[in-house]
Chains A and B, each alone.
Chain A
């Protein structure tokens, strides 16, 4: 069935209200994937500017999963991970997390600062605050592009950073967005800096109400 037909079909079905992430249909997921694509595309070009290197992005994955799958999605619950979290609110509410493993965090810093005099797995205060700022820039460009696309007014918080088990970091958005129902939805993308073989993830969580508003702005009944 073509997209147009699906759209008409949805309209005909009328006032059918979605309250849970697992009620999103294929077309909604396609739209979310496109939003992720635009957001992460913008963030990737910001990252490329910062690093002055080519940055590739994966096809966005829209995941609607149980809590445990979400925790394990990013390479094991207990893996030491650097996470930068930015909240957004206003017309749309959600969170963006920028995640990378310790080695990649050190590697990014040595590209930026042209020095690598530190013991493996150790990052100085200065480097940590630089990573926090990178997370902040990426999240802002992600949100900016959604805001431009939809005309919604979205404010973002200051960035928060933590270095800990991936699962413990992921528990923060899961608690925030998992209070209703037993699943969470997130859009995940992987950045790769090919020359240095670095990877990182950017993930976006949003309230179900926010998804409805974004879809409505794009002319889709949800």
Chain B
């Protein structure tokens, strides 16, 4: 029996085959699926903001909210669960611009900033991005199947896409 695990905003979950992890209605947030295809262990992170370094170190921040800290922590947890650090691959989705605001507005391009921070963090950790469905202007729900490592993206105005 496969279980469905739900990931909320600024959270992540990890599990193993044959479970499915889902996160609903990603707007400008980004969903990051990490997978080790040998052990079939994987995790899905739903980040909200690009960087934790906008806050002083002393602050008690929620590390799962930021791309940089959430991905680092998820990798650690996956390794602790038995995944091989060097086999991990990433698939990412989200980072849309929901409302077409003026150019240059901070809130308007938060999706872009989230995507680039996710990519930078993954690159620093040497985790290859094997598929991405990012940007544009629509919301996405992501199902991450740990059986196959498939990321299924559902939107309201587009057919279901599998990556």
B is bound to A: yes
A78 touches B24 (CB 8 A): yes
CB neighbours (8 Å) of B65 from chain A are: 178, 182
In the complex the two chains form, what is the Cα distance from A31 to B54 in whole Å? Answer: 31
Number of interface residues of A (CB under 8 A): 30
B27 at the A interface (CB under 8 A): yes
Residues of A within 8 A of B (CB): 66-68, 71, 77-78, 80, 83, 85, 87, 157, 160-162, 164-172, 174-176, 178-180, 182
In the complex the two chains form, what is the Cα distance from A79 to B48 in whole Å? Answer: 20
B41 at the A interface (CB under 8 A): no
Which of A160, A167, A178 has the most chain B CB within a 10 Å cutoff?
A167
A179 touches B49 (CB 8 A): yes
Cβ proximity bits B25-41 to A, threshold 8 Å, 1 near / 0 not: 11111000000000000
- List 18 extra interface pairs beyond A165-B24, A167-B139, CB under 8 A: A67-B8, A71-B24, A162-B100, A162-B137, A164-B27, A168-B26, A168-B139, A168-B140, A171-B9, A171-B28, A171-B98, A172-B99, A175-B27, A175-B29, A175-B107, A176-B107, A178-B65, A180-B55
Number of interface residues of B (CB under 8 A): 29
B27 touches A168 (CB 8 A): yes
- Least CB distance from A82 to B in Å reads 12
CB neighbours (8 Å) of B99 from chain A are: 83, 85, 160-162, 172
CB neighbors of A among B72-131 (8 A): 96, 98-101, 107, 110
- Least CB distance from B18 to A in Å reads 24
Cβ proximity bits B134-145 to A, threshold 8 Å, 1 near / 0 not: 000111110000
A77 touches B24 (CB 8 A): yes
B24 touches A171 (CB 8 A): no
CB neighbours (8 Å) of B26 from chain A are: 168, 171
Taking a contact as CB atoms closer than 8 A, the residue among A66, A68, A87, A164 that contacts B156 in the complex is A164
Residues of B within 8 A of A (CB): 8-10, 24-29, 48-49, 54-55, 62, 65, 96, 98-101, 107, 110, 137-141, 156-157
The answer to whether residues A168 and B9 also contact, given A160-B101, A174-B48, A175-B48 and a CB cut-off of 8 A, is: no
CB neighbours (8 Å) of A180 from chain B are: 55
- Least CB distance from A129 to B in Å reads 13
CB neighbours (8 Å) of B100 from chain A are: 160, 162
Q: Which 5 A-B pairs have the closest CB atoms?
A: A168-B139, A167-B25, A171-B27, A168-B27, A160-B99
| Minimal Cβ-Cβ distance residue in B for A167 | B25
B9 touches A68 (CB 8 A): yes
Taking a contact as CB atoms closer than 8 A, the residue among A78, A178, A179 that contacts B25 in the complex is A78
A174 touches B9 (CB 8 A): yes
A165 touches B107 (CB 8 A): no
- Least CB distance from B139 to A in Å reads 3
In the complex the two chains form, what is the Cα distance from A175 to B25 in whole Å? Answer: 14
In the complex the two chains form, what is the Cα distance from A175 to B26 in whole Å? Answer: 12
B49 touches A175 (CB 8 A): yes
- Least CB distance from A160 to B in Å reads 4
The answer to whether residues A165 and B110 also contact, given A67-B10, A178-B48 and a CB cut-off of 8 A, is: no
The answer to whether residues A172 and B141 also contact, given A167-B25, A179-B54 and a CB cut-off of 8 A, is: no
CB neighbours (8 Å) of A164 from chain B are: 27, 98, 138-139, 156-157
CB neighbours (8 Å) of B107 from chain A are: 87, 172, 175-176
In the complex the two chains form, what is the Cα distance from A138 to B137 in whole Å? Answer: 25
- Least CB distance from B41 to A in Å reads 25
